[in-house]
Amino acid sequence: MKIRTVTYAGTIAAKGGPAPGTLPQVAFSGRSNVGKSSLINTVLQRTRSKIAHVSAKPGKTQALNFYEVNGEFYLVDLPGYGYAKVPVAMRDAWGELIEWYLGETGGIRGVVHLVDARHKPTPHDLRMVEYLAGVGLPTLVVLTKIDKLKRIERQKSIERALEVLEIDEAQLLPFSSKTGEGRDDLLSALRGLVHEEA
Domain 7-195 has CATH 3.20.20.70: no
Could you report the per-residue pLDDT of 31-78, keeping only the tens digit for each?
A: 877 888 889 889 988 655 555 554 444 444 468 999 999 999 999 998
Cα distances from 189 to residues 84, 97, 139, 169, in angstroms, run 32, 25, 10, 14
CB neighbour list of residue 89: distance below 8 Å, 6 or more residues apart:
none
Prediction pTM value? 0.87
Report helix angle 88-104 to 123-135, nearest 10. Answer: 30
Nearest to 78, CA basis, from 50, 113, 43: 113
Could you report the per-residue pLDDT of 125-181, keeping only the tens digit for each?
A: 999 999 999 989 999 999 999 999 999 999 999 999 999 999 999 999 999 999 999
Domain spans in the chain, listed from the N-terminal domain onward: 7-195
Strand partners, 168: none
Strand partners, 27: 76, 111
Q: Tell me which amino acid residue 189 is.
A: A
Strand partners, 111: 27, 139
Nearest to 122, CA basis, from 82, 179, 69, 65: 82
Euclidean distance between the first and the last CA atom of the chain, given in angstroms as a whole number: 19
Question: How much is the pLDDT for 197?
Answer: 57
